[in-house]
Structure 1
Amino acid sequence: MVKCKLCNAKDADKKGSHIVPHFLLKRIENIEGKTGRDYELGFTIEKLNAKSYFGRSVQPEKLEETYGEITDADIAKNKHPLIVDNIFCSECESRLATIESKYAETTKTTNTKDYESGVSSIIGLLFWASVIWRMSINGKSGVKLTEEQNEKLRQTLDCFLPDKIEEIDKKGINENGLVKSLSYKILRSCDCKDDDAKWLFFHPEFNNPLCLLIDEYVVCFSFDDNFKDIDSKDCLGINEMIKQAPINKIGSDSNEIVKPFDNVTYKKMASSLLKIIQEVYLGGLDEFFDMVHVASGGKGKTMPSELKTEIMAELTSEEKKTGRKFTQEEIKKSTMKVMKRYAPK
């Protein structure tokens, strides 16, 4: 059996490990009114592809509404990209769960001004480091750290994640050279609505800091206590707010400070995010259409814009179920269906 990715010592015997903690993930993808596990109905969007997945407790009526007829093939390939087997040992899974349970308590606290979340910066840093590290080693969330960064977080977590929250080695972590350069800023929508769309998005253009939009939070995480990219790159239109946010880092007894923002800002941020997603996805489509055009013997190197528009209309037809739209299979079907209309008889 493979070894645990965290301790590198024990067998990775744990099944169903959540890469992103359930208390955050459920608010992003669970169907309305359900907070338990196995009620997720989620989508991932990549260049030239959209994928979806569903929990085993989602009712058939909801699946039919989203996908139409569910086939055995759909069920066979249905797998949550952020729930994995045999990546951690049971002991390390338990340590991760300990820090998650403590940090989950912070969701009950909010304010309209900068506020203390209810945990120390030590707990906050270990929690967000664990989320970012897991997303990176899993490789299915857009987060890709360098080998050096992955190892730095792994060693930090392996050294300092406790079995019980009261066993955190405050003295050791405050004096540890690995941890001293790590810092983060955290912003949170203070009045996010239950029916507001929630996202899990790692900004691809940011390295210093890493910028993660997750649920109603924005997390900016730095490996060298530097946030310089905020000065030169757009981060969903909230750069100034990020600059104003307090820096959380290891201190003797410092508490995590959260910068809140309102729902109007959240909706503007979400709108900026949608534009990025559309550019990534539609840019890939444009390349695909041109490639098909050339391969089929069309004149020139680009498909006529009128034909592209017709294919897009077919692809986005209201007759197609949400869970089927924009998949690679549907892109190919829609493209061939339209092109056949113009094929020589």
Structure 2
Amino acid sequence: MNLCKLCKVRNADKENSHIIPKFLGKPLFNSHIHREALEIKKGGGNRKIQDIPKEDFLFCSGCEQKFAILETYFARKLVSINDFRNRKNDFRLIQVYSNRLLIPNNINPIFFKLFSLSLFWRTSISQSILYEKFKLPDLIEEELRLFLSRNLKEKHKELVEELSKIENTPNYHFVVFKPEFNDRHFIGGLTAYQTSENIYTIFTSDLVFQFHSDLSNADPVMNLVSNLQNEEVRVILSSNENWKELSSAVIKKVINNPREGL
């Protein structure tokens, strides 16, 4: 049996690990008409599925539990993010040039960074064909692994107690986008790939996560909208029109590419 890809100490005994957490793909299966999604293949072929991809024997049970702690916390927070208009005391809205930013007051930025970086890292080390085009440089992948391995905990209380002690967070820009209005008539898809030379993007039904591997070539505006800093969580609001255009472009990319997507 192979060693766990996170701790590299214990055997990778865990089966059915979601690379992208299930709650980020859940809306794909929540139609009032049916509870399934289409897996799109090269040339537009498709098949019906009822769950997002899972993989076996990547992690040990202990490390899988560490990811579960992050996911449980953020799954709850996503509910409030999607309902931010009705929870005005929990958020601030600011304008940064053409970007409208949502700033949650009730999400710990280090917790959010751990969750997001774990998402980028897991997608990069995945063996699924769905994420084959999302592969971080080896040195960055290992840097993220070491950061996560040192700081993730198997118990929520223990992680919360250690958050203030976490130092030397990876020095990379990453941005998160969400639609300004939740429109369940158009829920988009689920895929991940390298979208430009130094940008790696994960598309989900509720959020888009984008990792920038080269700090030196980043747009100066990135310093104002990204989560490189550790002081607050920043989410860029996208108009529904732009969100639909983005989702449609992603779907076309998947159909015309020799890879699979949801």
Q: Give me the TM-score of the superposition, normalised by structure 2.
A: 0.77
Match of 1:256, SS state, is coil
Instruction: State how 1:37-186 maps to structure 2 within 5 Å.
Output: 40-46=36-42, 50=45, 52=47, 54-55=49-50, 82-110=53-81, 111=84, 113=93, 114-117=101-104, 118-140=106-128, 141=131, 142-168=133-159, 169-174=162-167, 176=168, 179-186=169-176
Shift of 1:274: 3.6
Match of 1:155, SS state, is helix
Q: Deviations over 1:24-79 (max 9, x none)?
A: 12223x252499xxx54440434x57453534xxxxxxxxxxxxxxxxxxxxxxxx
Q: Sequence identity, in percent?
A: 23
In structure 2, the partner of 1:264 is: 241
Q: Is 2:186 the partner of 1:196?
A: yes
Q: Give me the TM-score of the superposition, normalised by structure 1.
A: 0.60
Q: Deviations over 1:99-148 (max 9, x none)?
A: 11111122122347422333122111111111121112113213112221
Shift of 1:97: 0.2
Change (3 A) 1:276 1:180: closer
Shift of 1:93: 0.6
CA contact (8 A) 1:190 1:262 kept: yes
Return the structure number with greater helix share.
Answer: 1
Change (3 A) 1:226 1:32: farther
Relative contact order, higher structure (CA 8 A, sep 6+): 2
Q: Distance in 2 between matches of 1:272 and 1:199?
A: 11
CA contact (8 A) 1:188 1:216 kept: yes
In structure 2, the partner of 1:69 is: none
Q: Deviations over 1:128-173 (max 9, x none)?
A: 1111211121132131122212211111111111223333333442
Match of 1:249, SS state, is coil
Q: Distance in 2 between matches of 1:210 and 1:221?
A: 5
- Over aligned residue pairs, what C-alpha RMSD do you find? 3.1
Larger Rg: 1
Match of 2:237, SS state, is strand
Q: Distance in 2 between matches of 1:139 and 1:49?
A: 23
Shift of 1:226: 5.1
In structure 2, the partner of 1:318 is: none
Match of 1:248, SS state, is coil
In structure 1, the partner of 2:225 is: 246
Instruction: State how 1:7-18 maps to structure 2 within 5 Å.
Output: 7-18=7-18
Q: Distance in 1 between matches of 2:197 and 2:53?
A: 22
AA paired with 1:54? I
Instruction: State how 1:266-305 maps to structure 2 within 5 Å.
Output: 266-280=243-257
Match of 2:74, SS state, is helix
Matched length: 238
Q: Distance in 2 between matches of 1:99 and 1:119?
A: 12
4+ residue segments displaced more than 4 Å = 48-51, 242-245
CA contact (8 A) 1:189 1:216 kept: yes
Match of 1:185, SS state, is strand
